[in-house]
Amino acid sequence: MPKLIPTKKFLEDIEEFKFQKETLKKIAKALSFLEGNPHHPGLNIERIANDPAAWSVRVDRRYRISFEPDKLLDSGAPDWSGNIVLLRILSHDDLYKRPR
């Protein structure tokens, strides 16, 4: 099971949601799925085109979380058993412009 490691930027982003209880619940649910089963279909994992090391998962229709697996397989694919570095939580369009 991967361990989730938040960056300083991720922690700053999540602070912006402190008064949005419903969104915080959705973030917690997405992070729980990511930690427990990165292949969960509800995550809608996507690779971020302008940052080949970064990936994203869906929080809801508006927000996504960007992350980077810290281990790769020999094939170059992510090793989902390794740690996952949480990069940002932003709206879909902003995240794909600035995933870090």
Cα–Cα distance between 47 and 75 in angstroms, integer? 16
Domains (range + CATH), the chain: 4-97 (3.30.2310.20)
pLDDT surpasses 90 at 84: yes
pLDDT surpasses 90 at 76: no
Cα–Cα distance between 82 and 29 in angstroms, integer? 20
Q: What integer pLDDT is reported at residue 99 of this predicted model?
A: 92
Mean local confidence (pLDDT), 22-29: 96
pLDDT tens digits along 45-74? 999 988 888 999 999 999 999 999 998 888
Q: Which residues pair with 99 in a beta bridge?
A: none
